[in-house]
Amino acid sequence: MMKTMNIPVFDADKAVHGLMGPRGQALPALAHRFPKAVGPDGVDRQMLGELVFEDAVALADLERILHPMVRALRQSFLLSHALRRTRYVVMDVPLLFETGGDKSCDAILVVTAPSFLQRQRVLSRSGMTVKKFTGILKRQFQDSDKQRRATSVITSGLGKRETWVRLRRALRRDFLFVEKKSCG
């Protein structure tokens, strides 16, 4: 929605996919640490997930490889837009609070949905299981904590039209006064 409003968006998940895709910057380190998960077309995300899902050490190793690279891409994005004097940017970062990224934001927009709808949406993704979903939730801040820390909260469970209305309202009310950068 932000992109259709011509607001530049840094998508952390997309950055990770690029780092792990064919010729991705993270491939050498990932191939060294997780050789079973790396092939000629990049990382087999399903296999990598199986290797790190219940192994805290492997997950920490994966994060040590990827997080600095994602931070560098984020900084490059921010610098590029600062040089262009872009008024607003959005950082789409699923683990914003967990990684401390919220400290570098001027404002935070949390998009949320009722837990039953969140569960339904996540479980409809390819390769997702209830066990994986539960494990993901355990590693994340509670939704209520994210909402308390946010500048503004958008509930997305009422249909796209209502989400658009709420997003535009929040941007006018809470974000468009921000001069430096904003996160979502």
Query: Quick check: is 4 in a domain?
Result: no
Task: Give the pLDDT confidence score for residue 114 in this predicted structure.
Answer: 87
Same domain for 105 and 177? yes
Cβ burial of 67 (10 Å; 0-12, 13-18, 19+) is middle
Q: Is the pLDDT of residue 183 over 50?
A: yes
Domain tally for the chain? 2
Same domain for 101 and 83? no
Same domain for 177 and 108? yes
Average pLDDT value for residue range 166-181:
68
Instruction: Give which of 45, 67, 60, 42 is closest to 132, Cα–Cα.
Output: 45
Task: Give the pLDDT confidence score for residue 181 in this predicted structure.
Answer: 46
For residue range 21-64, what is the model confidence (pLDDT) as tens digits? 999 999 999 999 999 999 988 999 889 988 998 898 999 999 99
Same domain for 64 and 112? no
Last residue of a domain, one of 60, 87, 114: 87
Task: Give the pLDDT confidence score for residue 175 in this predicted structure.
Answer: 67
Q: List, in sequence order, every residue forming a beta bridge with 110; answer none if it has no partner.
A: 153
Same domain for 98 and 184? yes
Q: Is the pLDDT of residue 184 over 70?
A: no
Look up residue 10 and give its two tokens.
Answer: 């840094």
Within 10 angstroms of residue 57's Cβ, the number of other Cβ atoms is 8
Same domain for 83 and 68? yes
Query: Quick check: is 127 in a domain?
Result: yes
Same domain for 27 and 103? no
Query: Quick check: is 133 in a domain?
Result: yes
Same domain for 80 and 108? no
Last residue of a domain, one of 87, 108, 128: 87
Domain span at residue 41 reads 9-87
Same domain for 127 and 80? no
Average pLDDT, the chain: 87
Last residue of a domain, one of 61, 87, 113: 87
Same domain for 49 and 115? no
Task: Give the pLDDT confidence score for residue 177 in this predicted structure.
Answer: 46
- Do residues 44 and 76 touch, judged by C-beta distance below 8 A? no
Same domain for 101 and 70? no
For residue range 135-167, what is the model confidence (pLDDT) as tens digits? 778 888 899 999 999 988 988 888 889 989 888
Same domain for 141 and 56? no
Average pLDDT value for residue range 12-24:
94
State the pTM of this model: 0.81
Query: Quick check: is 2 in a domain?
Result: no
Any idea what the CATH number is for the domain that residue 40 is in?
3.40.50.300
Higher pLDDT, 94 or 18: 18
For residue range 65-78, what is the model confidence (pLDDT) as tens digits? 999 999 999 999 99
Query: Quick check: is 71 in a domain?
Result: yes
Q: What percent of the chain has pLDDT over 90?
A: 40
